[in-house]
Chain A
Protein backbone atom coordinates (compact mmCIF):
# COMPACT_ATOMS: atom_id res chain seq x y z
CA UNK A 1 0.00 0.00 0.00
CA UNK A 2 2.64 2.43 1.18
CA UNK A 3 4.98 1.35 -1.61
CA UNK A 4 2.31 1.93 -4.22
CA UNK A 5 1.43 5.40 -3.02
CA UNK A 6 5.11 6.21 -2.54
CA UNK A 7 5.78 5.23 -6.13
CA UNK A 8 2.95 7.42 -7.36
CA UNK A 9 4.18 10.31 -5.30
CA UNK A 10 7.68 10.02 -6.74
CA UNK A 11 6.37 9.78 -10.32
CA UNK A 12 4.00 12.72 -9.92
CA UNK A 13 6.58 14.78 -8.06
CA UNK A 14 9.10 14.18 -10.80
CA UNK A 15 6.56 15.21 -13.42
CA UNK A 16 5.62 18.31 -11.43
CA UNK A 17 9.20 19.46 -10.85
CA UNK A 18 10.28 19.04 -14.42
CA UNK A 19 7.13 19.80 -16.39
CA UNK A 20 4.08 21.17 -14.66
CA UNK A 21 5.74 23.76 -12.45
CA UNK A 22 7.99 25.36 -15.13
CA UNK A 23 5.16 25.48 -17.67
CA UNK A 24 2.74 26.78 -15.07
CA UNK A 25 5.28 29.38 -14.05
CA UNK A 26 5.37 30.82 -17.56
CA UNK A 27 1.66 31.50 -17.40
CA UNK A 28 1.65 32.67 -13.79
CA UNK A 29 4.74 34.84 -14.04
CA UNK A 30 3.69 36.45 -17.30
CA UNK A 31 0.27 37.41 -16.06
CA UNK A 32 1.14 38.40 -12.49
CA UNK A 33 4.22 40.49 -13.32
CA UNK A 34 2.97 42.36 -16.33
CA UNK A 35 -0.79 42.02 -16.26
CA UNK A 36 -3.03 40.56 -18.89
CA UNK A 37 -3.43 43.79 -20.85
CA UNK A 38 0.33 44.30 -21.28
CA UNK A 39 0.69 40.71 -22.48
CA UNK A 40 -2.24 41.11 -24.88
CA UNK A 41 -0.70 44.33 -26.09
CA UNK A 42 2.61 42.58 -26.79
CA UNK A 43 0.84 39.73 -28.55
CA UNK A 44 -1.01 42.04 -30.89
CA UNK A 45 2.10 43.93 -32.00
CA UNK A 46 2.47 43.47 -35.78
CA UNK A 47 5.91 41.87 -35.39
CA UNK A 48 4.59 39.35 -32.90
CA UNK A 49 1.59 38.54 -35.11
CA UNK A 50 3.90 38.01 -38.05
CA UNK A 51 6.11 35.72 -35.94
CA UNK A 52 3.08 33.64 -34.97
CA UNK A 53 1.95 33.50 -38.60
CA UNK A 54 5.39 32.45 -39.78
CA UNK A 55 5.64 29.73 -37.13
CA UNK A 56 2.23 28.32 -38.06
CA UNK A 57 2.94 28.61 -41.78
CA UNK A 58 6.24 26.74 -41.47
CA UNK A 59 4.58 24.03 -39.36
CA UNK A 60 1.68 23.74 -41.83
CA UNK A 61 4.14 23.09 -44.66
CA UNK A 62 6.67 20.94 -42.81
CA UNK A 63 4.29 18.69 -40.87
CA UNK A 64 2.16 17.41 -43.80
CA UNK A 65 5.26 16.89 -45.95
CA UNK A 66 7.04 14.97 -43.21
CA UNK A 67 3.89 12.97 -42.47
CA UNK A 68 3.54 11.80 -46.07
CA UNK A 69 7.27 11.17 -46.30
CA UNK A 70 7.29 9.29 -42.98
CA UNK A 71 4.45 6.95 -43.99
CA UNK A 72 5.91 6.25 -47.45
CA UNK A 73 9.37 5.71 -45.97
CA UNK A 74 8.02 3.36 -43.27
CA UNK A 75 6.12 1.33 -45.89
CA UNK A 76 9.27 1.11 -47.98
CA UNK A 77 11.37 -0.08 -45.04
CA UNK A 78 8.88 -2.61 -43.69
CA UNK A 79 6.92 -3.81 -46.72
CA UNK A 80 9.42 -3.86 -49.59
CA UNK A 81 12.62 -5.72 -50.23
CA UNK A 82 14.81 -3.03 -51.69
CA UNK A 83 18.55 -3.41 -51.15
CA UNK A 84 20.30 -1.08 -48.72
CA UNK A 85 17.33 -0.89 -46.36
CA UNK A 86 19.48 -0.95 -43.24
CA UNK A 87 21.51 1.99 -44.50
CA UNK A 88 18.40 4.03 -45.41
CA UNK A 89 16.94 3.25 -42.03
CA UNK A 90 20.05 4.66 -40.39
CA UNK A 91 20.18 7.74 -42.64
CA UNK A 92 16.66 8.80 -41.70
CA UNK A 93 17.85 9.10 -38.10
CA UNK A 94 20.53 11.58 -39.09
CA UNK A 95 18.50 14.61 -37.94
CA UNK A 96 18.48 13.08 -34.43
CA UNK A 97 22.24 12.71 -34.46
CA UNK A 98 23.30 15.98 -36.08
CA UNK A 99 23.19 19.17 -34.04
CA UNK A 100 20.53 21.59 -35.37
CA UNK A 101 23.09 24.36 -35.66
CA UNK A 102 25.16 22.16 -37.96
CA UNK A 103 22.01 21.48 -40.00
CA UNK A 104 21.58 25.22 -40.43
CA UNK A 105 25.16 25.68 -41.59
CA UNK A 106 24.95 22.83 -44.12
CA UNK A 107 21.85 24.46 -45.59
CA UNK A 108 23.80 27.71 -45.97
CA UNK A 109 26.62 25.79 -47.64
CA UNK A 110 24.23 24.36 -50.20
CA UNK A 111 21.64 27.11 -50.67
CA UNK A 112 23.46 30.22 -49.40
CA UNK A 113 24.70 33.01 -51.63
CA UNK A 114 28.03 31.24 -52.14
CA UNK A 115 26.53 27.76 -51.97
CA UNK A 116 26.06 25.23 -54.76
CA UNK A 117 22.53 26.19 -55.86
CA UNK A 118 22.14 29.40 -53.84
CA UNK A 119 22.89 31.91 -56.57
CA UNK A 120 20.56 30.14 -59.03
CA UNK A 121 17.61 30.48 -56.65
CA UNK A 122 18.50 34.12 -55.89
CA UNK A 123 18.71 34.91 -59.63
CA UNK A 124 15.27 33.43 -60.16
CA UNK A 125 13.77 35.50 -57.38
CA UNK A 126 13.45 32.77 -54.75
CA UNK A 127 16.19 33.29 -52.19
CA UNK A 128 16.29 30.37 -49.78
CA UNK A 129 18.59 31.49 -47.01
CA UNK A 130 17.43 34.40 -44.81
CA UNK A 131 13.95 33.75 -46.15
CA UNK A 132 10.92 31.53 -45.46
CA UNK A 133 12.00 28.59 -47.71
CA UNK A 134 15.20 28.25 -45.70
CA UNK A 135 13.25 28.13 -42.43
CA UNK A 136 10.91 25.53 -43.92
CA UNK A 137 13.86 23.42 -45.12
CA UNK A 138 15.57 23.59 -41.74
CA UNK A 139 12.34 22.65 -39.97
CA UNK A 140 11.64 19.75 -42.34
CA UNK A 141 15.16 18.47 -41.77
CA UNK A 142 15.08 18.49 -37.98
CA UNK A 143 11.57 17.00 -37.72
CA UNK A 144 12.01 14.41 -40.46
CA UNK A 145 12.28 11.10 -38.56
CA UNK A 146 9.38 11.30 -36.10
CA UNK A 147 6.52 9.91 -38.20
CA UNK A 148 8.68 7.18 -39.74
CA UNK A 149 10.03 6.20 -36.30
CA UNK A 150 6.52 5.93 -34.87
CA UNK A 151 5.01 4.11 -37.83
CA UNK A 152 7.72 1.52 -38.54
CA UNK A 153 7.18 -0.55 -35.35
CA UNK A 154 3.39 -0.38 -35.76
CA UNK A 155 3.63 -1.65 -39.34
CA UNK A 156 5.84 -4.52 -38.18
CA UNK A 157 3.41 -5.30 -35.38
CA UNK A 158 0.26 -5.49 -37.53
CA UNK A 159 1.92 -7.82 -40.05
CA UNK A 160 0.79 -8.44 -43.61
CA UNK A 161 -2.16 -10.77 -43.13
CA UNK A 162 -4.88 -8.13 -43.04
CA UNK A 163 -3.48 -6.52 -46.17
CA UNK A 164 -3.24 -9.88 -47.91
CA UNK A 165 -6.82 -10.68 -46.90
CA UNK A 166 -8.02 -7.37 -48.35
CA UNK A 167 -6.13 -8.14 -51.57
CA UNK A 168 -7.70 -11.57 -52.03
CA UNK A 169 -11.14 -10.07 -51.43
CA UNK A 170 -10.52 -7.75 -54.39
CA UNK A 171 -9.00 -4.54 -53.01
CA UNK A 172 -6.33 -2.83 -55.12
CA UNK A 173 -3.09 -1.70 -53.47
CA UNK A 174 -4.48 1.81 -53.11
CA UNK A 175 -7.77 0.64 -51.59
CA UNK A 176 -5.90 -1.65 -49.23
CA UNK A 177 -3.73 1.24 -48.09
CA UNK A 178 -6.65 3.60 -47.38
CA UNK A 179 -9.05 1.08 -45.91
CA UNK A 180 -6.77 -1.33 -44.06
CA UNK A 181 -3.19 -0.14 -43.61
CA UNK A 182 -3.79 3.51 -42.74
CA UNK A 183 -6.57 2.83 -40.19
CA UNK A 184 -4.33 0.20 -38.58
CA UNK A 185 -1.35 2.53 -38.17
CA UNK A 186 -3.33 5.70 -37.42
CA UNK A 187 -2.23 6.00 -33.78
CA UNK A 188 1.38 5.75 -34.78
CA UNK A 189 0.78 8.42 -37.41
CA UNK A 190 -1.09 10.71 -35.00
CA UNK A 191 1.62 10.42 -32.38
CA UNK A 192 4.26 11.03 -35.01
CA UNK A 193 2.40 14.16 -36.13
CA UNK A 194 2.25 15.45 -32.55
CA UNK A 195 5.99 14.98 -32.14
CA UNK A 196 6.72 16.50 -35.55
CA UNK A 197 4.53 19.50 -34.78
CA UNK A 198 6.16 20.02 -31.40
CA UNK A 199 9.59 19.91 -32.96
CA UNK A 200 8.57 22.10 -35.91
CA UNK A 201 7.18 24.93 -33.79
CA UNK A 202 9.86 24.62 -31.13
CA UNK A 203 12.98 24.41 -33.32
CA UNK A 204 15.50 27.11 -32.53
CA UNK A 205 19.09 26.30 -33.55
CA UNK A 206 18.72 25.33 -37.19
CA UNK A 207 16.14 28.05 -37.84
CA UNK A 208 18.28 30.70 -36.09
CA UNK A 209 21.18 30.02 -38.47
CA UNK A 210 19.22 30.16 -41.74
CA UNK A 211 16.58 32.79 -40.95
CA UNK A 212 18.79 35.83 -40.28
CA UNK A 213 16.10 36.76 -37.74
CA UNK A 214 14.74 39.78 -39.58
CA UNK A 215 12.09 41.13 -37.21
CA UNK A 216 8.63 41.07 -38.74
CA UNK A 217 9.84 38.99 -41.68
CA UNK A 218 11.88 35.90 -40.88
CA UNK A 219 11.40 35.72 -37.15
CA UNK A 220 9.57 32.72 -35.74
CA UNK A 221 8.13 32.58 -32.23
CA UNK A 222 11.15 30.80 -30.78
CA UNK A 223 13.45 33.40 -32.32
CA UNK A 224 11.19 36.13 -30.91
CA UNK A 225 11.50 34.71 -27.41
CA UNK A 226 15.27 34.90 -27.74
CA UNK A 227 15.56 38.32 -29.37
CA UNK A 228 12.98 39.98 -27.09
CA UNK A 229 14.79 38.63 -24.09
CA UNK A 230 18.16 39.84 -25.41
CA UNK A 231 16.64 43.26 -26.07
CA UNK A 232 15.35 43.67 -22.51
CA UNK A 233 11.73 43.16 -23.56
CA UNK A 234 10.61 40.49 -21.08
CA UNK A 235 6.92 41.05 -21.84
CA UNK A 236 7.52 40.22 -25.49
CA UNK A 237 9.57 37.15 -24.53
CA UNK A 238 6.91 35.85 -22.16
CA UNK A 239 4.09 36.60 -24.58
CA UNK A 240 5.82 34.61 -27.32
CA UNK A 241 6.56 31.77 -24.90
CA UNK A 242 2.92 31.75 -23.88
CA UNK A 243 1.85 31.43 -27.49
CA UNK A 244 4.25 28.52 -28.04
CA UNK A 245 2.86 26.79 -24.96
CA UNK A 246 -0.69 27.41 -26.21
CA UNK A 247 0.06 25.84 -29.59
CA UNK A 248 1.55 22.78 -27.85
CA UNK A 249 -1.53 22.48 -25.64
CA UNK A 250 -3.81 22.74 -28.68
CA UNK A 251 -1.92 19.95 -30.44
CA UNK A 252 -2.24 17.64 -27.44
CA UNK A 253 -5.89 18.58 -27.03
CA UNK A 254 -6.70 17.79 -30.66
CA UNK A 255 -4.90 14.46 -30.35
CA UNK A 256 -6.93 13.56 -27.29
CA UNK A 257 -10.10 14.61 -29.05
CA UNK A 258 -9.62 12.14 -31.90
CA UNK A 259 -8.36 9.31 -29.68
CA UNK A 260 -10.47 6.15 -29.85
CA UNK A 261 -13.45 6.01 -27.53
CA UNK A 262 -13.51 2.22 -27.70
CA UNK A 263 -11.84 0.66 -24.66
CA UNK A 264 -10.09 -2.07 -26.63
Chain B
Protein backbone atom coordinates (compact mmCIF):
# COMPACT_ATOMS: atom_id res chain seq x y z
CA UNK B 1 0.00 0.00 0.00
CA UNK B 2 1.27 3.47 -0.83
CA UNK B 3 -0.70 5.07 2.00
CA UNK B 4 -2.33 3.48 5.04
CA UNK B 5 -4.33 5.62 7.40
CA UNK B 6 -5.22 3.81 10.61
CA UNK B 7 -7.61 5.20 13.19
CA UNK B 8 -6.76 8.84 12.51
CA UNK B 9 -9.00 11.37 14.22
CA UNK B 10 -8.75 15.13 14.55
CA UNK B 11 -10.71 17.78 16.38
CA UNK B 12 -10.41 21.56 16.26
CA UNK B 13 -11.79 22.73 19.58
CA UNK B 14 -15.36 21.42 19.74
CA UNK B 15 -15.44 20.62 16.05
CA UNK B 16 -14.73 17.06 14.95
CA UNK B 17 -12.93 17.24 11.62
CA UNK B 18 -12.14 13.52 11.46
CA UNK B 19 -13.80 10.68 13.33
CA UNK B 20 -11.40 7.73 13.48
CA UNK B 21 -10.60 7.07 9.82
CA UNK B 22 -9.13 4.01 8.14
CA UNK B 23 -8.04 4.23 4.53
CA UNK B 24 -5.78 2.20 2.25
CA UNK B 25 -4.49 3.70 -0.99
CA UNK B 26 -2.97 1.28 -3.49
CA UNK B 27 0.35 1.81 -5.19
CA UNK B 28 0.06 3.68 -8.45
CA UNK B 29 -3.64 4.43 -8.04
CA UNK B 30 -5.43 7.70 -8.68
CA UNK B 31 -7.84 8.25 -5.82
CA UNK B 32 -10.37 11.03 -5.28
CA UNK B 33 -11.51 12.02 -1.81
CA UNK B 34 -14.96 13.45 -2.47
CA UNK B 35 -17.19 15.28 -0.07
CA UNK B 36 -18.98 18.53 0.73
CA UNK B 37 -17.11 21.36 2.43
CA UNK B 38 -16.54 20.62 6.11
CA UNK B 39 -16.52 16.86 5.49
CA UNK B 40 -12.91 16.60 6.66
CA UNK B 41 -11.45 15.67 3.27
CA UNK B 42 -8.80 18.40 3.23
CA UNK B 43 -7.89 17.72 6.86
CA UNK B 44 -7.34 14.05 6.02
CA UNK B 45 -5.04 15.01 3.14
CA UNK B 46 -3.11 17.44 5.36
CA UNK B 47 -2.70 14.78 8.04
CA UNK B 48 -1.26 12.41 5.42
CA UNK B 49 1.19 15.15 4.35
CA UNK B 50 2.09 15.94 7.96
CA UNK B 51 0.88 19.54 7.67
CA UNK B 52 -1.66 18.71 10.36
CA UNK B 53 -1.18 16.32 13.25
CA UNK B 54 -3.88 13.75 13.92
CA UNK B 55 -5.06 13.48 17.55
CA UNK B 56 -5.00 9.69 17.36
CA UNK B 57 -3.98 6.98 14.90
CA UNK B 58 -1.09 6.51 12.53
CA UNK B 59 -0.16 7.15 8.91
CA UNK B 60 2.02 4.78 6.90
CA UNK B 61 3.64 5.89 3.66
CA UNK B 62 5.11 3.12 1.47
CA UNK B 63 4.99 0.76 4.43
CA UNK B 64 6.89 3.04 6.83
CA UNK B 65 5.25 4.54 9.88
CA UNK B 66 5.32 8.27 9.08
CA UNK B 67 3.15 9.40 12.00
CA UNK B 68 6.02 11.11 13.78
CA UNK B 69 8.02 12.04 10.68
CA UNK B 70 8.01 15.83 10.11
CA UNK B 71 6.45 16.94 6.81
CA UNK B 72 9.75 17.91 5.18
CA UNK B 73 10.99 14.32 5.45
CA UNK B 74 7.79 12.54 4.39
CA UNK B 75 8.58 12.51 0.67
CA UNK B 76 5.12 13.64 -0.35
CA UNK B 77 4.29 16.10 -3.08
CA UNK B 78 1.52 18.52 -2.15
CA UNK B 79 -0.40 20.79 -4.50
CA UNK B 80 -2.57 23.56 -3.07
CA UNK B 81 -5.83 24.99 -4.33
CA UNK B 82 -4.33 28.46 -4.68
CA UNK B 83 -1.06 27.16 -6.19
CA UNK B 84 1.23 28.40 -3.38
CA UNK B 85 3.64 29.62 -6.05
CA UNK B 86 6.89 31.09 -4.71
CA UNK B 87 6.17 34.58 -5.98
CA UNK B 88 9.74 35.86 -5.82
CA UNK B 89 11.12 33.03 -7.95
CA UNK B 90 10.89 32.27 -11.65
CA UNK B 91 9.09 29.17 -12.89
CA UNK B 92 12.40 27.33 -13.30
CA UNK B 93 13.50 28.31 -9.79
CA UNK B 94 10.17 27.21 -8.34
CA UNK B 95 10.55 23.80 -9.94
CA UNK B 96 14.22 23.56 -8.94
CA UNK B 97 13.48 24.39 -5.29
CA UNK B 98 13.32 20.82 -3.96
CA UNK B 99 16.39 19.78 -5.94
CA UNK B 100 18.42 22.74 -4.64
CA UNK B 101 17.38 21.91 -1.09
CA UNK B 102 18.67 18.38 -1.72
CA UNK B 103 21.93 19.82 -3.06
CA UNK B 104 21.80 18.07 -6.44
CA UNK B 105 24.44 19.06 -8.98
CA UNK B 106 23.80 22.11 -11.18
CA UNK B 107 23.81 19.99 -14.33
CA UNK B 108 21.33 17.51 -12.92
CA UNK B 109 19.00 20.29 -11.73
CA UNK B 110 19.13 21.98 -15.10
CA UNK B 111 18.30 18.77 -16.93
CA UNK B 112 15.51 17.76 -14.57
CA UNK B 113 13.90 21.22 -14.61
CA UNK B 114 13.95 21.22 -18.42
CA UNK B 115 12.31 17.77 -18.48
CA UNK B 116 9.61 18.81 -16.02
CA UNK B 117 8.89 22.07 -17.81
CA UNK B 118 8.13 20.16 -20.97
CA UNK B 119 6.19 17.49 -19.04
CA UNK B 120 3.81 20.17 -17.75
CA UNK B 121 3.82 21.97 -21.10
CA UNK B 122 5.37 25.21 -19.93
CA UNK B 123 8.15 25.30 -22.53
CA UNK B 124 9.44 28.85 -22.92
CA UNK B 125 8.00 29.97 -19.57
CA UNK B 126 11.02 29.05 -17.41
CA UNK B 127 12.15 32.66 -16.90
CA UNK B 128 8.72 34.07 -16.11
CA UNK B 129 7.46 34.90 -12.67
CA UNK B 130 4.27 33.32 -11.32
CA UNK B 131 2.44 36.65 -11.59
CA UNK B 132 2.96 36.48 -15.36
CA UNK B 133 1.17 33.12 -15.64
CA UNK B 134 -2.51 32.18 -15.84
CA UNK B 135 -4.10 30.13 -13.08
CA UNK B 136 -3.87 26.91 -15.06
CA UNK B 137 -0.20 27.52 -15.85
CA UNK B 138 0.56 28.27 -12.20
CA UNK B 139 -1.08 25.04 -11.12
CA UNK B 140 0.92 23.05 -13.70
CA UNK B 141 4.08 24.73 -12.39
CA UNK B 142 3.09 23.75 -8.84
CA UNK B 143 2.63 20.17 -10.02
CA UNK B 144 6.05 20.11 -11.65
CA UNK B 145 7.55 21.54 -8.46
CA UNK B 146 5.95 18.77 -6.41
CA UNK B 147 7.02 16.06 -8.89
CA UNK B 148 10.61 17.32 -9.13
CA UNK B 149 11.72 15.51 -5.99
CA UNK B 150 10.08 12.24 -7.07
CA UNK B 151 7.70 11.96 -4.13
CA UNK B 152 6.35 8.63 -2.91
CA UNK B 153 2.84 10.02 -3.18
CA UNK B 154 1.30 13.09 -4.77
CA UNK B 155 -1.44 14.85 -2.81
CA UNK B 156 -3.62 17.53 -4.40
CA UNK B 157 -5.98 19.68 -2.34
CA UNK B 158 -8.84 20.91 -4.59
CA UNK B 159 -6.26 21.44 -7.35
CA UNK B 160 -8.73 22.84 -9.88
CA UNK B 161 -11.03 24.62 -7.45
CA UNK B 162 -9.78 28.11 -8.25
CA UNK B 163 -9.87 27.75 -12.05
CA UNK B 164 -12.65 28.60 -14.46
CA UNK B 165 -14.79 25.82 -15.92
CA UNK B 166 -13.02 25.33 -19.24
CA UNK B 167 -9.47 25.34 -17.86
CA UNK B 168 -10.63 23.01 -15.14
CA UNK B 169 -11.88 20.50 -17.69
CA UNK B 170 -8.63 20.65 -19.68
CA UNK B 171 -6.55 20.16 -16.57
CA UNK B 172 -8.60 17.18 -15.46
CA UNK B 173 -7.94 15.35 -18.71
CA UNK B 174 -4.32 16.40 -18.50
CA UNK B 175 -3.94 15.14 -14.91
CA UNK B 176 -5.39 11.79 -15.94
CA UNK B 177 -2.94 11.50 -18.85
CA UNK B 178 -0.06 12.68 -16.65
CA UNK B 179 -0.84 9.99 -14.12
CA UNK B 180 -0.87 7.33 -16.84
CA UNK B 181 2.58 8.62 -17.80
CA UNK B 182 4.32 8.97 -14.42
CA UNK B 183 2.38 6.40 -12.36
CA UNK B 184 2.94 8.15 -9.06
CA UNK B 185 0.32 7.27 -6.44
CA UNK B 186 -2.01 10.26 -6.47
CA UNK B 187 -4.74 11.36 -4.08
CA UNK B 188 -6.80 14.44 -4.80
CA UNK B 189 -9.50 16.15 -2.83
CA UNK B 190 -12.56 17.56 -4.56
CA UNK B 191 -16.15 18.53 -3.87
CA UNK B 192 -17.09 18.02 -7.52
CA UNK B 193 -18.50 14.50 -8.12
CA UNK B 194 -18.15 14.85 -11.88
CA UNK B 195 -14.46 15.63 -11.47
CA UNK B 196 -14.01 12.61 -9.21
CA UNK B 197 -15.86 10.31 -11.63
CA UNK B 198 -13.90 11.57 -14.61
CA UNK B 199 -10.39 11.47 -13.21
CA UNK B 200 -10.15 8.91 -10.44
CA UNK B 201 -10.10 5.14 -10.49
CA UNK B 202 -11.16 4.97 -6.84
CA UNK B 203 -13.53 7.35 -5.08
CA UNK B 204 -13.61 7.83 -1.31
CA UNK B 205 -16.83 9.60 -0.30
CA UNK B 206 -16.60 11.54 2.96
CA UNK B 207 -19.18 13.31 5.09
CA UNK B 208 -19.04 14.73 8.63
CA UNK B 209 -15.49 13.49 9.18
CA UNK B 210 -16.31 9.92 8.20
CA UNK B 211 -15.81 7.76 5.14
CA UNK B 212 -19.22 6.84 3.75
CA UNK B 213 -18.08 4.62 0.89
CA UNK B 214 -15.00 3.57 -1.06
CA UNK B 215 -15.22 2.14 -4.54
CA UNK B 216 -14.73 2.46 -8.26
CA UNK B 217 -16.64 5.41 -9.80
CA UNK B 218 -19.36 3.22 -11.42
CA UNK B 219 -19.69 1.26 -8.21
CA UNK B 220 -20.26 4.29 -6.07
CA UNK B 221 -22.70 5.74 -8.59
CA UNK B 222 -24.64 2.54 -9.27
CA UNK B 223 -24.50 1.03 -5.80
CA UNK B 224 -24.39 3.86 -3.30
CA UNK B 225 -24.01 2.64 0.26
CA UNK B 226 -26.51 5.10 1.67
CA UNK B 227 -28.76 7.99 0.94
CA UNK B 228 -26.00 10.58 1.42
CA UNK B 229 -23.75 8.97 -1.18
CA UNK B 230 -26.60 8.59 -3.64
CA UNK B 231 -27.55 12.24 -3.19
CA UNK B 232 -23.99 13.47 -3.45
CA UNK B 233 -23.12 11.51 -6.59
CA UNK B 234 -25.90 13.10 -8.62
CA UNK B 235 -29.40 14.56 -8.54
CA UNK B 236 -32.10 12.43 -6.96
CA UNK B 237 -35.88 12.55 -6.64
CA UNK B 238 -37.77 11.20 -3.70
CA UNK B 239 -40.92 9.28 -4.64
CA UNK B 240 -42.51 7.83 -1.51
CA UNK B 241 -39.52 6.44 0.35
CA UNK B 242 -37.62 5.48 -2.79
CA UNK B 243 -34.84 7.53 -4.35
CA UNK B 244 -34.72 7.82 -8.12
CA UNK B 245 -32.17 9.38 -10.46
CA UNK B 246 -33.68 11.81 -13.00
CA UNK B 247 -32.53 9.63 -15.91
CA UNK B 248 -34.34 6.63 -14.36
CA UNK B 249 -37.73 8.27 -14.71
CA UNK B 250 -39.79 7.11 -17.64
CA UNK B 251 -42.40 9.51 -19.04
CA UNK B 252 -45.43 8.18 -20.94
CA UNK B 253 -48.42 9.95 -22.43
CA UNK B 254 -50.78 7.06 -21.52
CA UNK B 255 -51.08 5.24 -18.19
CA UNK B 256 -50.03 1.57 -18.14
CA UNK B 257 -51.20 0.45 -14.70
CA UNK B 258 -47.96 0.96 -12.79
CA UNK B 259 -47.47 4.62 -13.65
CA UNK B 260 -48.49 7.65 -11.62
CA UNK B 261 -50.01 10.79 -12.94
CA UNK B 262 -47.92 13.96 -13.01
CA UNK B 263 -48.16 17.48 -14.39
CA UNK B 264 -45.42 19.13 -16.47
CA UNK B 265 -44.20 22.36 -14.88
CA UNK B 266 -41.25 23.28 -17.03
CA UNK B 267 -39.20 21.88 -19.91
CA UNK B 268 -35.53 22.91 -20.04
CA UNK B 269 -33.45 22.02 -23.11
CA UNK B 270 -29.79 21.46 -22.20
CA UNK B 271 -28.42 20.53 -25.60
CA UNK B 272 -28.44 16.77 -25.91
CA UNK B 273 -30.48 16.35 -22.75
CA UNK B 274 -33.81 17.78 -21.77
CA UNK B 275 -34.82 18.28 -18.16
CA UNK B 276 -38.51 18.02 -17.39
CA UNK B 277 -39.75 19.41 -14.09
CA UNK B 278 -42.88 17.57 -12.96
CA UNK B 279 -45.25 17.72 -10.00
CA UNK B 280 -47.00 14.66 -8.57
CA UNK B 281 -50.65 14.93 -7.43
CA UNK B 282 -49.46 15.11 -3.80
CA UNK B 283 -47.48 18.24 -4.69
CA UNK B 284 -43.99 16.73 -4.54
CA UNK B 285 -41.65 17.83 -7.34
CA UNK B 286 -39.89 15.35 -9.60
CA UNK B 287 -37.13 16.12 -12.04
CA UNK B 288 -36.75 13.84 -15.05
CA UNK B 289 -33.97 13.75 -17.59
CA UNK B 290 -34.74 12.54 -21.10
CA UNK B 291 -32.98 12.65 -24.44
CA UNK B 292 -33.71 15.27 -27.04
CA UNK B 293 -35.25 12.66 -29.35
CA UNK B 294 -37.49 11.42 -26.58
CA UNK B 295 -38.56 14.97 -25.84
CA UNK B 296 -39.40 15.59 -29.51
CA UNK B 297 -41.50 12.46 -29.61
CA UNK B 298 -43.45 13.38 -26.46
CA UNK B 299 -43.87 17.08 -27.36
CA UNK B 300 -44.21 18.11 -23.74
CA UNK B 301 -45.42 21.55 -22.76
CA UNK B 302 -46.01 23.09 -19.33
CA UNK B 303 -49.45 22.13 -17.99
CA UNK B 304 -49.58 18.75 -19.79
CA UNK B 305 -50.66 15.68 -17.89
CA UNK B 306 -48.30 12.74 -18.21
CA UNK B 307 -47.69 9.39 -16.53
CA UNK B 308 -44.39 8.55 -14.91
CA UNK B 309 -42.69 5.51 -13.41
CA UNK B 310 -39.22 4.94 -11.98
CA UNK B 311 -37.36 2.39 -14.10
CA UNK B 312 -34.82 1.97 -11.28
CA UNK B 313 -34.93 3.16 -7.70
CA UNK B 314 -33.35 2.52 -4.33
CA UNK B 315 -34.70 2.37 -0.82
CA UNK B 316 -32.27 2.79 2.08
CA UNK B 317 -32.97 1.39 5.50
CA UNK B 318 -33.58 3.87 8.25
CA UNK B 319 -34.93 6.58 5.98
Residue A32 interfacial (CB < 8 Å): no
Residue B145 interfacial (CB < 8 Å): yes
Q: Which of B144-186 contact A (CB under 8 A)?
A: 145-146, 148-149
Number of interface residues of A (CB under 8 A): 18
- In the complex, what residue of chain B is closest to A163 when comparing beta carbons? B84
Q: Which of B103-134 contact A (CB under 8 A)?
A: 129, 131-132
Q: Which of A160-178 contact B (CB under 8 A)?
A: 161-162, 164-172, 175
Contact check, A164 vs B88: say whether CB atoms are below 8 A apart: no
Contact check, A161 vs B80: say whether CB atoms are below 8 A apart: yes
Contact check, A169 vs B98: say whether CB atoms are below 8 A apart: yes
Contact check, A165 vs B131: say whether CB atoms are below 8 A apart: no
Write out, one digit per residue, whether chain B residues 171-205 have a CB within 8 A of any chain A CB (1) or not (0).
Answer: 00000000000000000000000000000000000
Point out the residues of chain B lying under 8 angstroms from A184, CB to CB.
87-88
Contact check, B97 vs A166: say whether CB atoms are below 8 A apart: yes
Point out the residues of chain B lying under 8 angstroms from A161, CB to CB.
80, 82, 84
- In the complex, what residue of chain A is closest to B131 when comparing beta carbons? A264
Residue A261 interfacial (CB < 8 Å): no
A180 to chain B, nearest CB (A): 6
Contact check, A170 vs B73: say whether CB atoms are below 8 A apart: yes
Q: Is the interface of A mostly helix, strand, loop or mixed?
A: helix
Residue B78 interfacial (CB < 8 Å): yes
Given A170-B102, A184-B87, A264-B132, are A165 and B142 neighbors across the interface (CB < 8 Å)? yes
- In the complex, what residue of chain A is closest to B78 when comparing beta carbons? A168
Point out the residues of chain B lying under 8 angstroms from A167, CB to CB.
51, 71-72
* Bound Cα distance A167, B146 (Å): 11
Residue B319 interfacial (CB < 8 Å): no
Point out the residues of chain A lying under 8 angstroms from B229, CB to CB.
none
Contact check, B88 vs A169: say whether CB atoms are below 8 A apart: no
A130 to chain B, nearest CB (A): 47
- In the complex, what residue of chain B is closest to A172 when comparing beta carbons? B72
Point out the residues of chain A lying under 8 angstroms from B307, CB to CB.
none
A251 to chain B, nearest CB (A): 24
* Bound Cα distance A195, B27 (Å): 55
- In the complex, what residue of chain A is closest to B132 when comparing beta carbons? A264
Contact of A169 among B97, B131, B132 (CB under 8 A): B97
Given A161-B82, A164-B51, are A171 and B72 neighbors across the interface (CB < 8 Å)? yes
Given A161-B80, A184-B87, are A168 and B71 neighbors across the interface (CB < 8 Å)? yes
Residue A183 interfacial (CB < 8 Å): yes
Contact of B101 among A171, A262, A264 (CB under 8 A): A171
Instruction: Give the top 7 A-B pairs by smallest Cβ distance, nearest first.
Output: A161-B84, A165-B84, A168-B78, A169-B98, A183-B88, A264-B131, A167-B71
Q: Which residues of A contact B (CB under 8 A)?
A: 161-162, 164-172, 175, 179-180, 183-184, 262, 264
> What are 28 residue pairs bridging A and B, where the CB atoms are less than 8 Å apart in the complex?
A161-B80, A161-B82, A164-B51, A164-B78, A164-B80, A164-B84, A165-B78, A165-B86, A165-B142, A167-B72, A168-B49, A168-B50, A168-B51, A169-B97, A169-B145, A169-B148, A169-B149, A170-B75, A171-B72, A171-B97, A171-B101, A172-B72, A175-B101, A180-B86, A262-B129, A264-B129, A264-B131, A264-B132
